[in-house]
Amino acid sequence: MDEDVFNMSIRKFLKKVGVTSQREIESAVRAAIADGTVSSDGPLKAKVTLTIDDVNLSVDIDGDVELK
């Protein structure tokens, strides 16, 4: 395994995850505030599940999304 290639590949994947996740969260939260589903006070509980089936990896990452 080439460690440099491996590291760069992980970084590219995480950048894609970060950008896509932020876009989706922003859109969903704005829509939920607009239709009254959630208050704009926050925080909102968030959870991401990272899986890589080939290496039997499944990790839950919990956190809060603050709105104020």
Structure confidence by residue, pLDDT tens digits, 27-59: 999 999 999 999 999 899 999 999 999 999 999
- CB contact set of 64 (below 8 Å; sequence gap of 6+): 42, 43, 44, 45, 46
- SS3 at position 59: strand
Element (H, E) at 3: helix 3-34
Rounded Cα gap, residues 1 and 4, in angstroms: 9
The percent of residues in the chain predicted with pLDDT above 90, rounded, is 96
The SS3 of residue 44 is strand
* pTM (2 d.p.): 0.86
